[in-house]
Amino acid sequence: DAGVTQSPTHLIKTRGQQVTLRCSPKSGHDTVSWYQQALGQGPQFIFQYYEEEERQRGNFPDRFSGHQFPNYSSELNVNALLLGDSALYLCASSLVGQEGGWSTEAFFGQGTRLTVV
Amino acid sequence: DQQVKQNSPSLSVQEGRISILNCDYTNSMFDYFLWYKKYPAEGPTFLISISSIKDKNEDGRFTVFLNKSAKHLSLHIVPSQPGDSAVYFCAARTRTGANNLFFGTGTRLTVIP
Protein backbone atom coordinates (compact mmCIF):
# COMPACT_ATOMS: atom_id res chain seq x y z
CA ASP A 1 0.00 0.00 0.00
CA ALA A 2 1.72 3.17 -1.19
CA GLY A 3 1.76 5.97 1.30
CA VAL A 4 1.79 9.66 0.45
CA THR A 5 4.22 10.39 -2.36
CA GLN A 6 5.59 13.79 -3.28
CA SER A 7 7.63 14.99 -6.23
CA PRO A 8 10.19 16.24 -6.76
CA THR A 9 12.22 15.57 -3.60
CA HIS A 10 14.49 18.55 -4.15
CA LEU A 11 14.17 21.69 -6.24
CA ILE A 12 16.22 24.84 -6.77
CA LYS A 13 14.54 27.92 -8.21
CA THR A 14 15.47 31.55 -8.78
CA ARG A 15 13.73 34.48 -7.13
CA GLY A 16 10.68 35.56 -9.12
CA GLN A 17 10.14 32.18 -10.74
CA GLN A 18 7.14 29.94 -10.30
CA VAL A 19 7.13 26.38 -8.95
CA THR A 20 4.71 23.45 -8.91
CA LEU A 21 4.93 20.66 -6.36
CA ARG A 22 2.97 17.43 -6.62
CA CYS A 23 1.38 15.04 -4.15
CA SER A 24 -0.37 11.69 -4.43
CA PRO A 25 -2.38 10.82 -1.33
CA LYS A 26 -2.38 7.52 0.47
CA SER A 27 -4.69 4.97 -1.12
CA GLY A 28 -8.24 5.48 0.11
CA HIS A 29 -7.70 9.05 1.24
CA ASP A 30 -9.64 11.91 -0.34
CA THR A 31 -8.28 15.01 1.39
CA VAL A 32 -4.92 16.67 0.88
CA SER A 33 -3.35 19.35 3.06
CA TRP A 34 -0.15 21.25 2.38
CA TYR A 35 2.30 22.49 5.01
CA GLN A 36 5.44 24.62 4.89
CA GLN A 37 8.26 23.77 7.29
CA ALA A 38 10.99 26.38 7.54
CA LEU A 39 14.34 25.43 9.05
CA GLY A 40 14.08 24.94 12.82
CA GLN A 41 10.31 25.40 12.82
CA GLY A 42 7.31 23.14 12.94
CA PRO A 43 5.13 22.66 9.86
CA GLN A 44 2.69 25.51 9.12
CA PHE A 45 -0.66 24.86 7.46
CA ILE A 46 -1.01 26.37 3.98
CA PHE A 47 -4.35 25.00 2.76
CA GLN A 48 -6.46 21.89 2.39
CA TYR A 49 -8.30 20.45 -0.60
CA TYR A 50 -11.33 18.23 -0.58
CA GLU A 51 -13.64 17.42 -3.51
CA GLU A 52 -11.36 19.47 -5.76
CA GLU A 53 -11.96 22.66 -3.80
CA GLU A 54 -9.91 24.63 -1.31
CA ARG A 55 -11.71 24.15 2.00
CA GLN A 56 -9.46 25.82 4.52
CA ARG A 57 -6.53 28.17 4.27
CA GLY A 58 -3.80 29.24 6.64
CA ASN A 59 -2.07 32.59 6.81
CA PHE A 60 -0.33 32.46 3.41
CA PRO A 61 -0.51 35.01 0.57
CA ASP A 62 -2.33 34.46 -2.70
CA ARG A 63 1.01 33.61 -4.35
CA PHE A 64 0.34 30.16 -2.90
CA SER A 65 -2.36 28.33 -4.80
CA GLY A 66 -3.33 24.75 -5.34
CA HIS A 67 -5.40 22.27 -7.16
CA GLN A 68 -6.89 18.86 -6.55
CA PHE A 69 -7.62 16.44 -9.37
CA PRO A 70 -10.44 13.88 -9.65
CA ASN A 71 -8.03 11.11 -8.58
CA TYR A 72 -7.43 13.10 -5.33
CA SER A 73 -3.84 14.00 -6.21
CA SER A 74 -2.89 17.62 -5.65
CA GLU A 75 -0.54 20.35 -6.76
CA LEU A 76 0.87 23.30 -4.85
CA ASN A 77 1.85 26.32 -6.95
CA VAL A 78 3.92 29.22 -5.71
CA ASN A 79 4.32 32.30 -7.90
CA ALA A 80 6.88 35.11 -7.72
CA LEU A 81 9.18 33.11 -5.47
CA LEU A 82 10.93 34.89 -2.61
CA LEU A 83 14.05 33.81 -0.76
CA GLY A 84 11.83 33.28 2.30
CA ASP A 85 9.86 30.61 0.45
CA SER A 86 12.83 28.27 0.85
CA ALA A 87 11.52 25.44 3.02
CA LEU A 88 10.41 21.84 3.18
CA TYR A 89 6.92 21.51 1.73
CA LEU A 90 4.90 18.66 3.20
CA CYS A 91 1.77 17.09 1.86
CA ALA A 92 -0.57 15.24 4.22
CA SER A 93 -3.53 13.11 3.26
CA SER A 94 -6.53 12.03 5.27
CA LEU A 95 -10.08 10.80 4.93
CA VAL A 96 -13.07 13.01 5.63
CA GLY A 97 -14.87 11.57 8.61
CA GLN A 98 -18.20 12.23 10.18
CA GLU A 99 -19.54 15.78 10.24
CA GLY A 100 -16.92 16.91 7.74
CA GLY A 101 -14.07 16.28 10.07
CA TRP A 102 -11.13 14.09 9.27
CA SER A 103 -9.66 10.87 10.45
CA THR A 104 -7.76 11.11 13.68
CA GLU A 105 -4.41 11.03 11.97
CA ALA A 106 -2.92 12.50 8.83
CA PHE A 107 -0.28 10.70 6.82
CA PHE A 108 2.59 12.83 5.60
CA GLY A 109 4.80 12.47 2.56
CA GLN A 110 8.57 12.83 2.74
CA GLY A 111 8.37 16.40 1.54
CA THR A 112 9.87 18.54 -1.23
CA ARG A 113 12.89 20.62 -0.27
CA LEU A 114 12.59 23.94 -2.16
CA THR A 115 15.58 26.26 -2.29
CA VAL A 116 15.13 29.74 -3.73
CA VAL A 117 18.34 31.50 -4.77
CA ASP B 1 1.92 33.87 17.29
CA GLN B 2 3.03 30.39 18.34
CA GLN B 3 -0.06 28.67 19.71
CA VAL B 4 1.75 25.40 20.38
CA LYS B 5 5.10 25.56 22.12
CA GLN B 6 7.81 23.04 22.75
CA ASN B 7 10.31 24.85 24.91
CA SER B 8 12.98 22.15 24.93
CA PRO B 9 14.73 21.96 21.57
CA SER B 10 16.62 18.84 22.59
CA LEU B 11 16.62 16.02 25.13
CA SER B 12 19.14 13.23 25.80
CA VAL B 13 18.17 10.09 27.66
CA GLN B 14 19.92 6.81 28.46
CA GLU B 15 18.55 3.69 26.83
CA GLY B 16 16.01 1.98 29.08
CA ARG B 17 15.11 5.15 30.97
CA ILE B 18 12.00 7.29 30.60
CA SER B 19 11.83 10.11 28.05
CA ILE B 20 9.43 12.95 28.82
CA LEU B 21 8.67 15.47 26.11
CA ASN B 22 6.61 18.52 26.99
CA CYS B 23 4.26 20.76 25.07
CA ASP B 24 2.26 23.85 26.02
CA TYR B 25 -0.57 25.52 24.15
CA THR B 26 -2.41 28.80 24.40
CA ASN B 27 -5.62 28.29 22.42
CA SER B 28 -8.42 27.00 24.65
CA MET B 29 -10.37 26.00 21.53
CA PHE B 30 -7.99 23.12 20.79
CA ASP B 31 -9.86 19.86 21.26
CA TYR B 32 -7.49 17.26 19.86
CA PHE B 33 -3.76 16.81 20.31
CA LEU B 34 -1.28 14.68 18.41
CA TRP B 35 2.36 13.70 18.58
CA TYR B 36 4.36 13.13 15.42
CA LYS B 37 7.84 11.69 15.09
CA LYS B 38 10.18 12.75 12.31
CA TYR B 39 13.36 11.12 11.07
CA PRO B 40 15.72 13.03 8.75
CA ALA B 41 14.63 13.03 5.10
CA GLU B 42 11.22 11.62 6.01
CA GLY B 43 7.85 13.19 6.62
CA PRO B 44 6.33 13.28 10.11
CA THR B 45 4.85 9.97 11.26
CA PHE B 46 1.81 9.88 13.52
CA LEU B 47 2.62 8.46 16.95
CA ILE B 48 -0.24 8.94 19.38
CA SER B 49 -3.13 11.31 20.01
CA ILE B 50 -5.51 12.40 22.75
CA SER B 51 -8.91 14.02 22.79
CA SER B 52 -9.62 16.91 25.14
CA ILE B 53 -12.22 14.78 26.94
CA LYS B 54 -9.46 12.50 28.20
CA ASP B 55 -6.43 13.10 30.37
CA LYS B 56 -4.39 10.06 29.39
CA ASN B 57 -3.92 7.80 26.39
CA GLU B 58 -1.55 4.88 26.24
CA ASP B 59 -0.19 2.88 23.31
CA GLY B 60 2.55 0.41 24.15
CA ARG B 61 5.63 2.28 25.30
CA PHE B 62 4.04 5.65 24.56
CA THR B 63 1.70 7.53 26.87
CA VAL B 64 0.33 11.02 26.39
CA PHE B 65 -0.96 13.05 29.33
CA LEU B 66 -3.18 16.11 28.98
CA ASN B 67 -3.63 18.77 31.68
CA LYS B 68 -6.30 21.10 30.30
CA SER B 69 -6.24 23.54 33.19
CA ALA B 70 -2.52 24.07 32.67
CA LYS B 71 -2.82 23.85 28.88
CA HIS B 72 -0.01 21.33 28.95
CA LEU B 73 0.58 17.91 27.51
CA SER B 74 3.45 15.51 27.72
CA LEU B 75 4.63 12.40 25.92
CA HIS B 76 6.24 9.65 27.98
CA ILE B 77 8.32 6.95 26.33
CA VAL B 78 9.15 3.98 28.56
CA PRO B 79 11.57 2.34 28.13
CA SER B 80 13.44 4.54 25.68
CA GLN B 81 15.23 2.80 22.82
CA PRO B 82 17.95 4.05 20.45
CA GLY B 83 15.46 3.79 17.57
CA ASP B 84 13.33 6.43 19.29
CA SER B 85 15.97 9.04 18.47
CA ALA B 86 14.16 11.54 16.24
CA VAL B 87 12.48 14.94 16.31
CA TYR B 88 9.10 14.89 18.05
CA PHE B 89 6.42 17.39 17.15
CA CYS B 90 3.39 18.22 19.25
CA ALA B 91 0.35 19.31 17.23
CA ALA B 92 -3.18 20.48 18.01
CA ARG B 93 -6.39 21.26 16.22
CA THR B 94 -9.72 22.89 16.94
CA ARG B 95 -13.12 21.31 16.35
CA THR B 96 -13.91 23.69 13.47
CA GLY B 97 -10.44 23.59 11.98
CA ALA B 98 -10.20 19.86 11.81
CA ASN B 99 -7.86 19.93 8.86
CA ASN B 100 -5.56 22.63 10.18
CA LEU B 101 -2.93 21.30 12.54
CA PHE B 102 -0.90 23.73 14.62
CA PHE B 103 2.58 22.37 15.26
CA GLY B 104 5.20 23.12 17.87
CA THR B 105 8.82 23.67 16.88
CA GLY B 106 9.85 20.16 17.83
CA THR B 107 12.12 18.47 20.37
CA ARG B 108 15.08 16.42 19.21
CA LEU B 109 15.31 13.28 21.33
CA THR B 110 18.58 11.38 21.48
CA VAL B 111 18.56 8.00 23.21
CA ILE B 112 22.08 7.02 24.21
CA PRO B 113 22.83 3.27 24.07
Per-residue pLDDT tens for A6-26?
A: 999 999 999 999 999 999 999
Of the candidates A60, A68, A12, the one whose C-alpha atom is nearest the C-alpha of residue A36 is A60
- Considering CB atoms only, which of B4, B49, B97 is closest to A56? B97
How close does chain B come to A12, measured CA to CA in Å?
A: 17
Residues in chain A with CB shorter than 8 Å from the CB of B42 are 110
Residues B74 and B21 sit within 8 Å (Cβ to Cβ): yes
> In this structure, which amino acid lies at residue A24?
S
Tell me: the pLDDT tens digits for A74-106?
Answer: 999 999 999 999 999 999 998 875 554 555 578
Q: What percent of chain A has pLDDT over 90?
A: 77
What pLDDT score was predicted for residue A1?
62
Of A31, A101, A110, the CB nearest to B41: A110
Between chains, do B89 and A100 touch, taking CB under 8 Å as contact?
A: no
Q: Are B62 and B11 in contact (CB under 8 A)?
A: no
pLDDT above 90 as % of chain B: 84
Average pLDDT, chain B: 93
Contact B101 A31 (CB under 8 A): no
Q: What is the pLDDT of residue B20?
A: 98
d(CA A65, CA A48): 10
- Mean pLDDT (chain A) is 91
Cβ within 8 Å of residue A1, ≥6 positions away: A26, A27
What pLDDT, on a 0 to 100 scale, did the predictor assign at position B40?
86
- Select from A22, A33, A18, A32 the least CA-distant residue to A85: A18
Determine the pLDDT at residue B41.
Answer: 82
Which chain A residues are closer than 8 Å to B100 by Cβ?
33, 45, 48, 56, 58
High-pLDDT (> 70) share of chain B, %? 96
Percent of chain A with pLDDT over 70: 92
Contact between B32 and A104 using a beta-carbon 8 Å cutoff = yes
